[in-house]
């Protein structure tokens, strides 16, 4: 299978390139030149993306400004114009599917109210975990930043390209993939939103290989005890079966 990964030199891009390479010929692009085989290309330039998307069956679109505090100017260029260019290039090049990297930040403002506020503050004794209402793909968005708004734009643009042009689009609302695959510091946010490297790779692989899937949105976090994002939907539709739980770091004394 011919697969193009945008943002291939980023943290998640490198994991996808290495973890999803079996049985796939992966082309990686990034804005900066690299000596690891990544092609230098700019998603802000439609002609460059269209040239590289020709002959590809799937495009995994990761390239973006990933900074939650990024300025509108940067978000507009990279996450709005750049995302449009990727979808339009895929349409013109008859790509079958786009796997779009979204984020849990599209609903992160729910953390300002109980019971989610208790979890992110580490006040676990105030939470009835057995009756915790999960935030799902059907929960109305509550973005926390221009970055999150741009990811909602990408999801809705994907919906448009599915309905209008028949492009298959899978949107993955990724949680936190920290450097080193472990918490850099004790953080309740980590225990709620961690996505391990191997769970990330599994989720992307299952999104690439999913059969007759037109458009859908899935949360991507590991099977964390204190997560409040629903992963039953990717379990049922994609067969996602996360093997990691952030709680293991607490039991090992790593935090």
Adjacent-strand bridge partners of 4: 27, 59
Strands of the sheet containing 39-40, edge to edge, are: 39-40, 25-30, 2-6, 58-61, 97-103, 168-174, 215-220
CB 222 within 8 A of CB 195: yes
Among 147, 161, 219, 240, which one carries the catalytic annotation? 147
**Stretch (H or E) spanning 237:** helix 232-238
Residues 6+ apart with CB under 8 A from 46: 85, 88, 89
Q: Among this protein's residues, is 147 annotated catalytic? A: yes
CB 184 within 8 A of CB 11: no
The catalytic residue positions are 147
């Amino acid at each position: 299978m011919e697969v193009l990964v945008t943002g291939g030199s980023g943290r998640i891009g490198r994991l996808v390139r290495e973890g999803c390479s079996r049985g796939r010929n992966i082309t990686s692009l990034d804005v900066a030149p690299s000596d690891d085989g990544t092609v230098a290309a700019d998603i802000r330039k439609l002609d460059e993306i269209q040239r590289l998307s020709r002959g590809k069956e799937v495009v995994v679109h990761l390239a973006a400004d990933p900074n939650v505090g990024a300025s509108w100017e940067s978000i507009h260029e990279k996450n709005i114009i750049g995302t449009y260019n990727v979808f339009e290039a895929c349409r013109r090049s008859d790509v079958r599917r786009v796997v779009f990297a979204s984020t849990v930040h599209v609903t992160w403002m729910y953390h300002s109210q109980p019971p989610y506020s208790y979890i992110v503050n580490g006040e676990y004794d105030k939470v009835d975990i057995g009756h915790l209402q999960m935030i799902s793909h059907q929960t109305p968005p509550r973005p926390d930043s221009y970055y999150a708004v741009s990811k909602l734009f990408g999801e809705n643009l994907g919906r448009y390209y599915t309905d209008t042009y028949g492009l298959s689009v899978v949107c993955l609302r990724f949680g936190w993939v920290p450097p080193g695959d472990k918490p850099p510091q004790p953080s309740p946010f980590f225990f709620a939103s961690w996505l391990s490297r191997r769970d990330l790779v599994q989720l992307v692989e299952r999104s690439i290989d999913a059969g007759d899937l037109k458009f859908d949105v899935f949360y991507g976090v590991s099977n964390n005890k204190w997560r409040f994002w629903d992963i039953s939907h990717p379990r049922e539709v994609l067969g996602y079966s996360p093997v990691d739980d952030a709680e293991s770091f607490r039991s090992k004394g790593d935090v």
